[in-house]
Amino acid sequence: MLDHISIGVADLSKAKRFYDAALAPLGYRCLHAGADALGYGDTDAALWVMTAARPVPPDDASGLHVCFRAPSRAAVDAFHAAGMAQGGRDNGAPGLRPDYGATYYAAFVVDPDGYRVEAHTESA
């Protein structure tokens, strides 16, 4: 349904370190790096991270988050570890989420700008 999503950040270099590290285990990489914007994906950029004068204020209670597909549970674990190492905040350690489904395995991190991001897989 969605072609891409864009988020505004205060510090593009900090966001690049976070997303380069967190998305690499999922098979995604920075496909476009300009002065004011970064585009992430596997073959096409689907996540755009751009410098914004007024980024959306962090709000853990908003319900807004972005979820990335992961190829394996190990990739979900690595996403969480890398995100935490690059300034992210834990928002749910890697593990099964039986409320979402019997095989739903996910991890949640809040990025340095306050965006809630998730990686998930249904594989064992």
Question: What is the 3-state secondary structure of 19-61?
Answer: HHHHHHHHCCEEEEECCCEEEEECCCEEEEEEECCCCCCCCCC
pLDDT in single tens digits along all 124 residues of the chain:
889 999 999 999 999 999 999 999 999 999 999 999 999 999 999 999 999 999 999 998 999 999 999 999 999 999 999 999 999 999 999 999 999 999 999 999 999 999 999 999 998 7
pLDDT value, residue 1: 87
Q: Which domains does the chain have, with CATH numbers?
A: 5-53+62-121 (3.10.180.10)
The C-alpha atoms of residue 36 and residue 47 are separated, in whole angstroms, by: 14
51 has which bridge partners? 9
pLDDT value, residue 124: 78
pLDDT value, residue 111: 97
